[in-house]
Structure 1
Amino acid sequence: MPRLVLSLDGVVLREVGLAKDRTTIGRRSHNDIVIDNLAVSGEHSVIYTSAGDVYLEDLGSTNGTTVNGQPIKKHLLQSGDTLEIGKYRLKFLADGATGTEGEVDIDTSQPLRRELYGPGPAKIQIRQQGANGDAGTPAAAS
C-alpha cells in the first residue's frame, strides 16, 4: 500500500499507510490526517487514487501545497516525491517502495517522536480505517 512518511525539521514523526481511495489532510478534526498547526488550513489537501495513479490536490489552502519545492494545484505523485504542507514534509512512497529509494531527505536515524509541543502543533491525528471499512476513530500520534 502507498504511504506517507511525515516529518518536521528532519525528524520522522509518523508513517501513514494510504489504505483509502481518498485521504484528506488538514487542521480540522474530520480530516483523515489532522495536523493541528496554524500554517495548515482546515481542509488543506487531498490524496486520491484514480485509474491506479495517486494524485495530490490542494483544496484552496491559504499557504498552498508544494511537491519537490514547486507549488501545485493538482499533481500526479511519484514514489519519492516530497510534499510540503506548512512546515511539515510528507515523503510519498509508492506500493512496495522503501524509504531508501531515490534521494531521501528525511532523517530516519532519529527516534520516532510521538507528540510535539512548543512552536509545533499540539498533536497530529491519523484516522484509521476500521475493520468494517469505516473511518474508525482518530489515533493520536502518541
Structure 2
Amino acid sequence: MEVAVAAVIGRSPDCDVSLGDTYLSSRHARVALDEGELTLEDLGSTNGTYVNEQMITGRVHLERGDVVQVGGVLFEVVR
C-alpha cells in the first residue's frame, strides 16, 4: 500500500509550498501523489489554476510534460 503525499500551494506561510506571488490565493491549489497518480486540484482560488493554458475545475490528473500555472508561477511536470 502506498501512502498519499500532498502539498498545498499558496501565499500563506502555512502552505507546504509558500510563494510570495500576489496573484496567488492564500491556499491556491493542492498537488497530490496517491497510488502512483499525480493530481492537481484548485482550492477555490481567485485567479484560477491552469494546466497547459486551460483553467481546471475539480481534480485533474497530471502527466509528464504538463505545465501548471498558479498565479504568475509556472511548474513543469518532469516525472
Task: Give the TM-score normalised by the residue count of structure 1.
Answer: 0.51
Structure 1's consecutive aligned runs of 4 or more residues displaced over 6 angstroms after TM superposition are none
CA distance in 2, matches of 1:93, 1:58: 20
CA distance in 1, matches of 2:30, 2:78: 16
* 2:44 counterpart (60, 72, 76): 60
**Residue of structure 1 equivalent to 2:72:** 87
User: Which structure: greater strand fraction?
Assistant: 2
Q: Structure 2: which 5+ residue stretches go unaligned?
A: none
C-alpha RMSD of matched pairs (Å): 1.2
CA distance in 2, matches of 1:64, 1:26: 12
Note the C-alpha offset of 1:91: 0.7
Superposition pairs of residues 65-84 of structure 1, within 5 angstroms: 65-73=49-57, 74-84=59-69
CA distance in 2, matches of 1:50, 1:32: 17
Note the C-alpha offset of 1:64: 0.3
Superposition pairs of residues 1-142 of structure 1, within 5 angstroms: 21-73=5-57, 74-94=59-79
- The count of corresponding residues between Structure 1 and Structure 2 is 75
Task: Give the TM-score normalised by the residue count of structure 2.
Answer: 0.88
Q: Deviations over 1:17-67 (max 9, x none)?
A: xxx700110000011111112100000000012221010000000000000
Percentage identity across paired residues of the two chains = 33
